Structure 1
Amino acid sequence: MSQAITKPIGAMLDEIAARFPDNDALVYPERGLRYSYKQFNEICRQVAKGLLKLGIKKGDHVSIWAYNVPEWVILQFATPKIGAVLVTVNTAYKSSELEYVLNQSDSTTLFMVKSFKDTDYVKTLAEVVPSIHDSEPGKLNHAKLPFLKTVVFIGDETPAGMLNFNSIIELGKAVSDEELAAVEATLDCHDTINMQYTSGTTGFPKGVMLTHYNLANNGFQIGECMKFTNQDRLCIPVPFFHCFGCVLGTMVCVTHGSAMVPVELFDPLKVLQTIEAEKCTAVHGVPTMFIAELEHPEFKKFNLSSLRTGIMAGSVCPIEVMKKAVRDMNLTEITSVYGQTEASPGITQTRTEDPVELRVSTVGRALPEAEVKIIDIETGATLPPGKQGELCARGYMVMKGYYKMPEETAKVIDADNWLHTGDLAIMDENGYCKITGRIKQMIIRGGENIYPKEIEEFLYTHPKISDVQIYGVPDKKYGEQVMAAVILKKGMEMTEEEVKEFCRGKIANYKVPKYVKFVEGYPMTASGKIQKFKLREMAIKELHLEEAE
């Protein structure tokens, strides 16, 4: 592979910091925080040493549960310096999801902020680990989470039983450069360095194991397709816990010596203010974010002339939104990326020089050095251009596998190392792909992937519910919304609100069904399979969603 990055991420950052020491690396205008690459690398080294002092070793799993705070980015580049695996926890998770991820990932340490939106993280953690506030920091002992020993708080007023993030930096002062170098010498670019949880048809999230090599090279190639240089400045309003934030965002920047300018919590006004104040040349977002920015009442007040490129991805990009972004935000070289977490995540991308028509109607062609093919769902044979089948990908970006789930891994990565995405697509004769549907019936709501099986498994635990089917229905704002068709147990009665209330606080808000319908049965195939597409068609008619469709 040409120009492949074969160094571990920590060593790669050392090299970038040596090449561009005075370039802005990380900028938070509202906090007055501005690290040059030299300073950013130095703080990442300090934190890496602090982690060593805490007893974190190569291969240990460290979870982070936080929105886009500076400590997130620092941890993302400090953990690979010692070979620890960063486990990214969805900010919308509630108690049962948090417990599952901490347990399944064998996390020894959890970094967390105080709260996010309507969720008090400190209270939520106490629900999962009742003994947290009575424990000595670093000596947690909870039967259900045998690996978890340390909780580190990001922010002021550290709760009882936790360490503070700043104390990690202090601890690092006791560790010499030689000790850190000795650990770095043991690292390999094909070691797992990051784990992101993606739900699946099994109903339980799976930990996707990604390596230094996966992430650095995917970030580099995506940046190349946007013509990124050390002069670019990227506004990052998408969440870091997702590949969109921590690969298409931060990793794209660091591999090019570009400036990372995050927005802590998405707010269209803040994005516009940040772009203008920092003269950002690029901005990322899911379509709903771009719509909110373009439709903001103060939109016209802002000077966005510094913008050039960025990525609109996460769900199908409406053609009109893409055209408006090009025309009204000066994003003449905006691109779209298609991928999935298992491909760390980018598989295809449009190019800055592609005509707008291609950029709005396709998800581009294979990234440099990646292979893409479309196969027949029944036979597995490679299909010619213009035929619909499953999109498969192969190359440097494919994950190592799902953590502790070899059978699940074998279902998606075949003997020839092709990753089977489960997405239906058509490729044209020039290699440009259109995503046409999903084999797995995943719902994409505002860029969040929702797997019906996971919500179904949860609702099955309600004593009144006999059966439930979850499916997506069209929505103007979010692309899709969650709908539940519920069959009640004999003699039971239930309201729509009762179903929603049962979900609240237990599963992420975006997974709570917006629509609930009580039914006697489901449309079936001759072989007894439920036809969700028919449920969807019926719902579109009943709810008058034809226009959104």
Structure 2
Amino acid sequence: MQHTLKSGHAVGGASGGERRSQQRPPLGLRTRTPLQQQQQRFVITRVAQIERPAVVDVESLPRPAPVTVERPRAVDQEISTLCEIWPRNAARFGNLTAIKDPHQEGSPELTFSQLNAAINDFAAGLQGLGLQQYDKVALFSENSCHWLVADGAILTCGGADVVRGATAPPEELLYIAQHSGSTGMVVQDAATLDRLLAAVALHVEHHEGNPLEAMRFVVLLWGEPTPAQAAALGCPVLPYAEVLGRGVQRRLAGGFRPADVRPQDLATLVYTSGTTGHPKGVQLTHDNLAYQVRNLSSVINITPGDQVLSLLPPWHIYERTCSYYVLHEGAQQTYTNVRRLRDDLTAFPPDHLVCVPLVLDTLHSRVRQKLATASAARAAIATALLAAGAAYVRARRVAEGLSVQHALPAKGAEAGGMAAYVRRWVDVVSAALLSAVLAPLQALASKLVYSKIREALGVRKTVISGGGSLAAHLDDFFEAIGVPVLNGWGLTETSPVLACRRSIVPGQNIRGSVGIPVPGTQVRVVDPETLAPLPAGRQGLVLARGPGVMQGYFRDPEATAKVFRAGDGWFDTGDLGWVAPSGVPLSRCGGHLVLSGRAKDTIVLSSGKNVEPQPIEDAVAASTLIKYVVLLGQDKRELGALVWPDEDALAASPELSALSPHDLEDRLTAEVTRLNGARPDYHPFDHVAHIGVVRTPLSVDDGTLTRTMKPRRPEIMKVHRAVADHLLHRLRG
């Protein structure tokens, strides 16, 4: 029978009512240094021959008149556009701190009222520079409070921002700016703009035109522009503070009015990392993203005043949507980065942490490394208790019917054999006895070991993981120490969350799964070739349909048609998976989605066996000696693996660092064999016959890692072609 999975909850719709107009509060920071006080006095200078007003003291100006929005909505009703978040929050949460940016100059902090005012001021400033409704603005920057203000302002003007990170290759940024038709640009700083201008100069030198010739203005979020930059661009180049100052004056003069933004209007173009050729521009509307904000409360409960660390880049739609949601709920967002995360977990302990699996893997590895430096006795005790804890939570899942390994009918049950049911019943009883035996050890470990680990990690309530596959050993570890991890799934094209494990309802955080669909979203598993629906429990290609699914790829009808080839609004996610069937005896996993890999990554051996690399790679990554694994073996009789050792772990061990290349390969091969063979669904054809050890690190800069730190196979095969070819020659054909 056909199986289509969807939530049983209704999706909140838009409704009428009048939005309350907001009085502009003082723009100043809550605690001002002399530098911050100086930055609030905007001396407007001449750039690119644009006439500027005289010196403006923002604090001395009278407050602008309240802004009346033409699309009125009551503050206590659900949003239909992203623009409604900020005035709504100013009315609801007022002087609660919204954002902290401790690592930027002056350590800015803004309350919800100040954030709303800054967005309106910046929007007015952009309007004065010529930004019109439906224009596109390239927003090339990393995460910061200024990024959030610029994003809110562009949308308030009725524009759409075209987002990418400041560290992306300049050629990629120029392509995005030109392909999107952006007429304005907001960049991180002068250094980012210099890199772009150097790339532009090469285009001009080769008579390829100026990719930035359509720009009407450029704004720097941090720092000051140089006169040379304005001269090179031929348009105004302004610092963030000056745009705010111009906006204040424009509002005072009554020259600012927010655009009449509708739910179906384009909110953002997010260019995905292309594995071949240029990246594709994903078109997401206000309705796509507002749908996520309205419905993520079904996944996790955020209360006003909760603390959240913002770690990921804002141009990644996962971070951006989560940021909208937590701020919408009145939480306080503190900006951090990978380099400072360890210290910030202590300095700003979060109630919730939004991250990718690599962050969890790094935290887990640090715990292991810390144990390795303890005395032999302490290390042995702690390691034994962690192992017992992992065994305890796995047994408890089986006993409580929450194990995806027992979510399918027992083999032989289809034929009505009682033996299959007896075997399943024995498994459950055995697991219940094992968990009962291990329970005292788990309690002891929680008191002696886990409490210290939780304190060191700093997360008080929940970790939300997305953007990649979460390995089973990480699920075991964090569940054992008492830190709930909610693993979600989605794509840029779906705004992004399609499904997620839940913490609100007991028994909804099924480890090994990605949970159930967000309310209003449907998921269907089909045959990859025929697209015919498959019954629950059968693996196939996962399709999705719902309010979060994109409108299409910008100016790319062929790519759009390809991902919507199933028709009727069904989007091809490219993921393989299966839905746990309902009614399986002794299982409570019914309706939960389990992913098994990417369709394009499937390795077909010469025997005809299909191997999904992801489960094997995730299992092997549990080794403290291994950082990354990439499986090879297409059209071969056996599998091979490129293995990147964890260089920090090797350096910390005199024994390992002294190994010869041949001995290191043997040691890592043994690790791969041990962990791969221990998988519950291991088959003999999954055996990894040979490995190739790669000591050159993977990197975002050379394209071998995605921006969310996942290995990118096509680029790896290019950059490390020699090692890969050597390994393939060793495999039996």
User: TM-score by structure 1 length?
Assistant: 0.76
Please say if 1:315 is aligned against 2:468.
yes
- Point out the structure with the larger helix share: 2
1:260 aligns with 2:336: no
The residue number in structure 1 matching 2:596 is 436
* Conserved 8 A contact 2:188-2:222: yes
SS in 2 for 1:38: helix
Deviation, 1:271, is 2.3
Partner SS state of residue 107, structure 1: coil
Change (3 A) 1:536 1:508: closer
From 281, 292, 297, the equivalent of 2:362 is 292
Residue 352 of structure 2 aligns with an amino acid whose one-letter code is A
372-381 vs 343-352, which deviates more?
372-381
Equivalence for 1:40? 115
Other-structure match for 1:399: 550
Aligned match of 2:346 in 272, 276, 289? 276
Contact 1:223 1:253 in 2 (8 A): no
User: Match of 2:290?
Assistant: 216
Seen in structure 2, the aligned counterparts of structure 1 residues 358 and 58 have a Cα distance that, compared at 3 Å, is: same
| Superposition pairs of residues 378-417 of structure 1, within 5 angstroms | 378-413=529-564, 414-417=566-569
Contact 1:10 1:80 in 2 (8 A): yes
Structure 1 residue 381 displacement after superposition? 1.8
Whole-Å separation in 1 of the counterparts to 2:165 and 2:312 = 12
Does structure 2 conserve the Cα–Cα contact (< 8 Å) formed by 1:94 and 1:508? no
- Higher share of residues assigned strand: 1
Which among 161, 166, 181 is matched to residue 86 of structure 1?
Answer: 161
Q: Does 1:245 align with 2:315?
A: no
Please state whether the residue corresponding to 1:513 is helix, strand or coil: helix
- From 324, 327, 333, give the equivalent of 2:477: 324
Whole-angstrom CA distance in 1 between matches of 2:629 and 2:506: 28
Q: Which has the larger radius of gyration?
A: 2
Matched, 1:3 2:19: no
How far off its partner does 1:374 sit? Answer: 0.8
Q: Distance in 2 between matches of 1:173 and 1:357?
A: 49
Q: Which runs of structure 2 are paired with 1:124-135 in the superposition (5 Å)?
A: 124-130=195-201
Measure the CA separation in 2 of the matches of 1:127 and 1:11: 39
- CA apart distance, 1:21: 1.0
Match of 2:262 in 1: 188
Q: CA 1:539–1:340 in structure 2 vs 1: closer, same or farther (change >3 Å)?
A: farther
Partner of 1:206: 280
> Are 2:188 and 1:113 aligned?
yes
| Alpha-carbon distance in structure 2 between the residues aligned to 1:504 and 1:433 | 30
* Structure 2 residue aligned with 1:149: 216
Task: Identify the residue that residue 127 of structure 2 maps to in structure 1.
Answer: 52
Counterpart position of 1:531: none
Instruction: Give the CA deviation at 1:507.
Output: 5.6
Distance 2:330 2:306 in 1: 8
Which residue is equivalent to 1:426? 578
Q: CA deviation at 1:406?
A: 2.1
Retained in 2: the 8 A contact 1:84–1:193?
A: yes
Mapped contact 1:484–1:516 kept (Cα < 8 A): no
Pairs aligned (count): 467
Query: Partners of 1:301 and 1:411 in 2: how far apart?
Result: 46
CA distance in 2: counterparts of 1:72 and 1:369, whole angstroms: 30
Contact 1:233 1:260 in 2 (8 A): yes
Q: Partner of 2:94: helix, strand, or coil?
A: coil
CA separation in 2, counterparts of 1:385 and 1:260? 40
- Measured in 1, the distance between the counterparts of 2:459 and 2:704 equals 37
What does residue 464 of structure 1 align with?
none
Q: Residue 151 of structure 1 aligns to a residue in which SS?
A: strand
The residue identity in structure 2 corresponding to 1:400 is: Q
Whole-angstrom CA distance in 2 between matches of 1:287 and 1:504:
16
| Matched residue SS, 1:57 | coil
Alignment of 1:455-466 (within 5 A): none
1:386 maps to amino acid? G
Inter-CA distance 112–196: structure 2 relative to 1 (3 Å threshold):
same
AA matched with 2:12? Q
Report the 3-state secondary structure (helix = DSSP H, G, I; strand = E; otherwise coil) of the residue aligned with 2:469: coil
State how far apart, in whole Å, the 2-side matches of 1:318 and 1:349 are: 16
Change in 2 beyond 3 A, CA 1:130/1:506? farther
What is the distance in 2 between the residues matched to 1:483 and 1:102?
36
Cα distance in 1, alignment partners of residues 521 and 494 from structure 2: 10
- Map 1:468-507 → 2, pairs under 5 A: 474=617, 476=621, 479-480=628-629
2:244 to 134, 153, 169: 169
Instruction: Give SS of 1:156's match.
Output: coil
For the 8 Å contact 1:366–1:431, the answer to whether it is kept is no
- Mapped partners of 1:246, 1:536: distance in 2: 40
Aligned-partner SS, 1:382: coil
TM superposition shift of 1:273: 3.2
Local SS of the residue matching 1:361: coil
- 1:6 is displaced (CA, Å) by 4.6
Shift of 1:480: 4.8
Structure 1 match to 2:721:
517
Give the corresponding residue for 1:13.
Answer: 86
- SS of aligned partner of 2:601: coil
SS of the residue aligned with 2:716?
coil
* 1:30 CA drift (Å): 4.0
Output the CA distance in 1 between the equivalents of 2:150 and 2:632.
Answer: 37
Partner SS state of residue 14, structure 1: helix
Structure 1 residues not aligned, in runs of 5+: 133-140, 444-470, 486-499, 520-534, 543-549
Shift of the 395–506 alpha-carbon distance from structure 1 to 2, 3 Å rule, reads: same
Write out aligned runs for 1:308-387 (5 A). Answer: 308-328=461-481, 330-332=482-484, 334-353=485-504, 359-387=510-538
| Misfit runs of 4+, over 6 Å | 354-357, 482-485, 503-506
Per the TM alignment, residue 536 of structure 1 is displaced from its structure 2 partner at its CA by 9.9
Who is 1:137 aligned against? none
Which among 193, 200, 225 is matched to residue 299 of structure 2?
225
Q: What's the secondary structure of 1:130's corresponding residue?
A: helix
Q: Identify the match of residue 97 of structure 2 among 9, 16, 24.
A: 24
Secondary structure of 1:280 counterpart:
coil
| Percent identity of paired positions between Structure 1 and Structure 2 | 23
**Superposed CA offset, 1:39-90 (max 9, x none):** 1111111111111111111111111222212211112222211111111113
What is the CA–CA distance in structure 1 between the aligned matches of 2:555 and 2:154, rounded to whole Å?
A: 21
**1:374/1:389 contact within 8 Å kept:** yes
Cα–Cα, structure 1 residues 188 and 312, in superposed 2: closer, same or farther, change >3 Å?
A: same
What CA distance in whole angstroms lies between the structure 2 residues aligned with 1:75 and 1:508? 31
- TM-fit CA distance, 1:223: 3.9
Inter-CA distance 540–106: structure 2 relative to 1 (3 Å threshold): farther
Contact 1:364 1:432 in 2 (8 A): yes
What 5-or-longer segments of structure 2 have no aligned partner?
1-9, 14-77, 231-236, 371-451, 582-589, 604-612, 635-695, 707-711
Change (3 A) 1:540 1:174: farther
Farther-moved stretch of structure 1 (335-344 vs 106-115): 106-115
Deviation at 1:122, TM superposition (A): 3.6
Give the deviation of 1:217 after TM superposition: 1.8
